[in-house]
Structure 1
């Protein structure tokens, strides 16, 4: 719990100092923020450092396949109404990056931490969180991530008996199954646009029935729990039935869902929905996502989409045709090297948009678009693609490392 006693041993202090020095050297050498390498060095020197740093904080963990960076930002913004917050806002979400983030602040009362799905159970063990938000699970990075039900099982076992309040999406059967091992769950009806990873029951393997927004297993009776919070259009419904308006600068239904879950988390810490939702309006962009930048006399909106569920959500928020769309896909280590997921994305949703294709795997994407009967041009790079588009707005959708390449090129 929050307090002022110094939890750091001499060894931990040396580890923090060494980690910061290595991070600073990495930044000076132009190798990025240095948070990951700094955290690795610090954890080598003191393997218990993450637990020590979290000791004096009220911790919130946020995990999901999609939306965790944005939701982490929204929750951090909401909790600042109650006190100082430390957060891994730039998305370094494995133990080394989390350790670095927490080492950067000795004054904070709350720690709002995004956690990679595979590391959730371990980080929860180390940080003794007061609250854990579970948003969704879907296929991602097929060459290195576990199959979704295995991830859900990992969560279920890791969170069994957890003292944390679990804020969980009632509309995602995998999340519900994972959270159901915990004694204290608050269910949020946040919606689920992508359903292709949830047609078989995670509990028994039977076929899921999905009438309307409901779902249940016809074989074992596993079913959607009754939510106490819900997203309803442009409002969040709280457990008392009051409707609170959502005003976000971030686009799309997915971000309203993130705001609903964030309001439920904030309430656990005593921040009322009205205050929490008003504070969320401050968030304009998240690590470059949703930013509109001027480049070659055009307005480029930068959108990140890393997996089929993310692409589906992104297609739902782009401007209507004939707004040009530039698509960029890489398959480097951080993206996952297997691009077979492109075949799970419904690219017919881009019909009517002029499309330009760039990135390391532009030819993989070109084949996929050809099969989807889309009109597109393959371009050498972003500059050439932008030149192909008329002046005005361009939607640019990219996966992880392609997104970082874009940001560097446009100076964002």
Structure 2
């Protein structure tokens, strides 16, 4: 609903003006700075902008932007939806997204894990989606178990919120166990590198087939939604065929969680699934573009869990360009490179590039992956023989490539 508080109206108008000026002068895309100005002028603006809307929050280490877009498409079957589809998931970006669509009765907001407690306290979401939790940007966020504890405490203060949670992620399950209304989704996700010990007692977590447990009694709950291959089984026992145009198990897992969350808001699973099939790329991710002699597929990977999924969907016979930066938005700590199984790139043509190509080159040397270095990501593409190229980049390297390469 349109904000009626005078201070809120003035702060929103000033934030929009700031955003337009930022875009017009080429300083940025405007969403973050616009939201930052709005918050500065009215610290209560998020609470007021979220009032009288049905708000869905999406968080997790990987997959936030994808799942939020899926949910936005699904909820658009009901009415207009405010969303931060540009990936600006800090409070500034959340405020800017709500301010941009004051009349939208629904909002789907991806939120950085560290800011979920504050954002949730302000907007009191109808649904909170927990995707996964793993190490990411240790220099900014800290240890993932601290994030889990903070999420658990925040969820305990949301008695009316349906918490849609991936029960195959041990840390997500621990956080969501505090929910008054948990909705468990079995996704079959295979990354467990950050949850080898129990977040409750510290003992080893035992993983077996489709389940896990700890000797203290903490164990995988029985899911009411189950993903198997391309099919999602609903609580009523009906099977929904995803048939996504996005590749990989990770995107199918995101879709299963999106279906469950959309159902909580009132969108039938088959309706939601049909709308998910219209998605072909996520802000340029998975998009294939032409550059002179090459057909280039763009992918984003920014931490060990994300790389584990990306390595599974790379075409085995296609050369790979890997671009790594370490700017503030990426996280300046690159120790995660040593937890990625780059050994799977052996025997391929590999080019390393980006601001931190030297760090990446050292890691590939230890992985016994033959490679060469190019100073510029686009020149790295040009250095390869004609044909297909897979390019995998972390956040700012990916963003820069999307801006530089043609859209089709």
Which of 192, 196, 199 is equivalent to 1:199? 196
Distance 1:23 1:333 in 2: 21
**Aligned counterparts, 1:355-366, within 5 A:** 355-366=350-361
Q: Which residue of 1 aligns with 2:207?
A: 210
Distance 2:4 2:390 in 1: 47
**Aligned counterparts, 1:170-185, within 5 A:** 170-185=167-182
Deviates more, 1:262-271 or 1:388-397: 388-397
Q: Does 1:71 align with 2:67?
A: yes
Q: Which residue of 1 aligns with 2:31?
A: 35
Paired residues of 1:325 and 1:354 also in contact (CA < 8 A)? yes
Q: Does 1:119 align with 2:119?
A: no
Q: Does 1:101 align with 2:92?
A: no
Distance 2:147 2:119 in 1: 15
**Aligned counterparts, 1:332-351, within 5 A:** 332-351=327-346
**Aligned counterparts, 1:1-400, within 5 A:** 6-162=2-158, 163-218=160-215, 220-321=216-317, 323-400=318-395
Deviations 1:255-278 (A, max 9, x none): 010000000011111211110000
Structure 2 SS opposite 1:210: strand
Distance 2:6 2:406 in 1: 41
Distance 2:238 2:308 in 1: 30
Q: Which runs of 5+ in 1 are unaligned?
A: none
Supply the RMSD in Å over aligned alpha carbons.
1.1
TM-score, normalised on structure 2?
0.98
CA displacement at 1:7 relative to structure 2: 4.0
Distance 1:155 1:382 in 2: 37
Paired residues of 1:193 and 1:313 also in contact (CA < 8 A)? no
Q: Which runs of 5+ in 2 are unaligned?
A: none
Aligned length: 406
CA displacement at 1:191 relative to structure 2: 2.4
Paired residues of 2:189 and 2:253 also in contact (CA < 8 A)? no
Deviations 1:73-94 (A, max 9, x none): 0000011111111100011111
Paired residues of 1:161 and 1:183 also in contact (CA < 8 A)? no
Structure 2 SS opposite 1:316: helix
TM-score, normalised on structure 1?
0.97
Distance 2:185 2:275 in 1: 20
